[in-house]
Structure 1
Amino acid sequence: MPLNVQTLSAKWGDYALLDSGGRLKLERFGDCVVVRSEPKAWWSPARKSLWDSADARYFDDDKKSARWEFFKKVSPPKLKFGKVEFLTKFMDGSKHLGVFPEQKPHWEFIMSMAGAFGAKLAKAGLPPRRPTLLNLFGYTGAATLAAAAAGYEAVHVDASKPSVEWARRNQAASGLGSAPIRWIVDDALKFAAREARRGRKYDAIVLDPPAFGRGPKNELWKLEKMLPELLGACSRILSDTPLFVLMTLYSIDASPIMAANVLCERFGARAGFSAECGELVLEPEDGLSYPLPLSIWASASFA
């Protein structure tokens, strides 16, 4: 089956990749400039003079004493994406601030697909309703809130209670408190299998599974072993008026075409099926440094 393989790059006013290299990246979140480790930045920095402008750096050479070090007094920045507001924070033991800017093209895709749902229902002779979206491994809710802002009815699942609580704070900050979102702390595979047994259906499914993880009851997750089972459950809960399945993978030895192949295997027999895949890339702000690839993705869409 022919595949559309493409690179999706994120450019965003509230975020910028300033430079990368030497297994580090220099970024701006709002007005705050930070240095974080980046194993994929094998090259040398292109704009060495900029690195002294950093407000903070995350040191994780020694995992036991990984920490943020601040060179200036800074507050965690708030980031805006349309109606959605992301609250960030600095946490010792984690280089992540609570949002993955490279996924901005996915938020835009999710929002753009909502408009096609009315025509899909009309074509099937069905009455108007909101599209339903399931976000598995939803973290702090970026994709969920983008969906809610576009009119979806969303279910957000993550095994981490602190992450789900963070997502709910993002919901409040975004003024989306009345949006139809269910927030669930659960193991993604168990939840999807349970929804299949219940006969629940979703028009769109987003999944961002890690290579390795633990559920809320210490359930073991290994991507290579358990992804086929998860996608099998997803195929059973995808509705008869499907919009898309969107999957992002990171920190694994895989290619975009591998990711697309597993979606083709599970969803390729559906009417109107097409597949796309590629990489999520951060483009440097001024084009002087190199683009930074961070994860691979694949999507199944249904015309």
Structure 2
Amino acid sequence: MSKQFTQRKSSERRAGNGNEAADLNSREYAVGWPDYELLDAGDGKKLERWGDVVTIRPEIQAHFQPGWTCLDWQARADWEFEELSSTQGTWKKLKPQANEHWQIAYQQLTFGLKLTKFKHVGLFPEQQANWRFIAARVKPGDKVLNLFAYTGAASLVARTHGAEVVHVDSIKQMLDWANDNQARSALTDIKWVLEDALKFAKRELKRGSRYDGIIMDPPAWGLGAKGEKWKLENHLADLIETAHGLMHPGAFLILNTYSPKVELQDLASAAAPCFSRNQSEIKQLWMQSKTGKALLYGNLLRVIA
């Protein structure tokens, strides 16, 4: 699979169909922090504060009434993303002095953010739930492999806790962005790999490499460098099997899914040949807004081997 996609994530980032009725015990909630808040959600959009910058972005999971009015949103927001197609759009400036580039902090880390034509700004804040998990599991000297690694938040969290990190993404601009975040955070020595994530992992398997932690945040769909189609549901079992082969005893695995074709049961079925039920946890990833709206962000597999 080539990760030279036309975009980093599915533009709609939908979760598995039919999961809204899952038992509440299968939910995990990410939480905001001083530099990030999910302010409100509804009517197919979400209102977010990133430091001093407030954005309105499309969100297919926000299929309910928002807590605040449209006028409230417009009064608070600096930018609103307007979709031109299912994959791209433009940002409408709502405040004259709105910044197009800025920085926010998460604990001791610093991330550079900017407006992109794919509606993203360089950080997926719902991943705070996984950053907590990584921080709790990683020990100095652990080897961590971050595949489909984007702008590097998970890599930086692991590195902060003493891990030797291999960060893999096939888009050079993402590696450059992640490297800049490393410098902003006063960290060094992350190994950057510009390559197809799954192909790299398979080569590592042949080389006999082993890791204490593996992080995978693959896109739901996309097009490869030669126009080949990537659909996560077609590669899910291969991703998990390959990760299993790379794991030391006691290692952890994190796999996020945003595909409408990958439900909780699909994750369970794909993980079953490699991991026992008591090694795995399969959850929905949620975040609650300041106005009390619960927003679904996808499905999540975590394993401790």
Q: TM-score range by the shorter chain?
A: 0.7 to 0.9
Task: Name the structure 2 match of 1:105.
Answer: 129
Task: Name the structure 1 match of 2:30.
Answer: 9
Secondary structure of 2:180 counterpart: helix
The 1-side partners of 2:87 and 2:133 are apart by 39
Larger Rg: 1
2:301 matches 1:298: yes
What amino acid is aligned across from residue 165 of structure 1 in structure 2?
A: D
User: Which is further off, 24-33 or 65-74?
Assistant: 65-74
Question: Share of identical aligned residues, percent?
Answer: 35
Task: Name the structure 2 match of 1:163.
Answer: 174
User: Following TM superposition, by how much is the alpha carbon of 1:58 offset from its aligned partner in structure 2, in angstroms?
Assistant: 0.5
Task: Name the structure 2 match of 1:208.
Answer: 217
User: Following TM superposition, by how much is the alpha carbon of 1:217 offset from its aligned partner in structure 2, in angstroms?
Assistant: 6.4
Paired residues, number: 277
User: Following TM superposition, by how much is the alpha carbon of 1:227 offset from its aligned partner in structure 2, in angstroms?
Assistant: 2.0
TM-score normalised over the length of structure 1: 0.85
The 1-side partners of 2:122 and 2:268 are apart by 27
User: Which is further off, 45-54 or 136-145?
Assistant: 45-54
2:253 matches 1:245: yes
User: Following TM superposition, by how much is the alpha carbon of 1:5 offset from its aligned partner in structure 2, in angstroms?
Assistant: 2.5
Task: Name the structure 1 match of 2:68.
Answer: 47
Aligned alpha-carbon RMSD (Å): 2.0
Task: Name the structure 2 match of 1:121.
Answer: none
Unmatched segments (≥5 aa) in structure 2: 1-24
The 2-side partners of 1:114 and 1:46 are apart by 38
Q: In the TM superposition, what whole-angstrom CA distance separates every residue of 1:251-298 from its partner, at most 9, and x where no partner exists?
A: 3233234323322322339xxx5211212212112xx34111111101
The 2-side partners of 1:23 and 1:81 are apart by 27
Secondary structure of 1:104 counterpart: helix
Label 1:6 to 1:261 Cα distance change in 2 as closer, same or farther (>3 A).
Answer: farther
What is the correspondence of 1:258-269 to structure 2 with a 5 Å cutoff? 258-268=266-276
Task: Name the structure 2 match of 1:280.
Answer: 285
User: Which is further off, 102-111 or 5-14?
Assistant: 5-14
Unmatched segments (≥5 aa) in structure 1: 116-128
Segments of 4+ moved more than 3 angstroms? 61-65, 214-220
Task: Name the structure 2 match of 1:236.
Answer: 245
Task: Name the structure 2 match of 1:94.
Answer: 118
Higher RCO, Cα 8 Å, sep 6+:
2
Q: Is the 8 A contact 1:79 1:86 kept in 2?
A: yes
Secondary structure of 1:191 counterpart: helix
The 2-side partners of 1:257 and 1:56 are apart by 38
What is the correspondence of 1:167-182 to structure 2 with a 5 Å cutoff? 167-177=178-188, 180-182=189-191
User: Following TM superposition, by how much is the alpha carbon of 1:220 offset from its aligned partner in structure 2, in angstroms?
Assistant: 4.4
User: Following TM superposition, by how much is the alpha carbon of 1:41 offset from its aligned partner in structure 2, in angstroms?
Assistant: 0.6
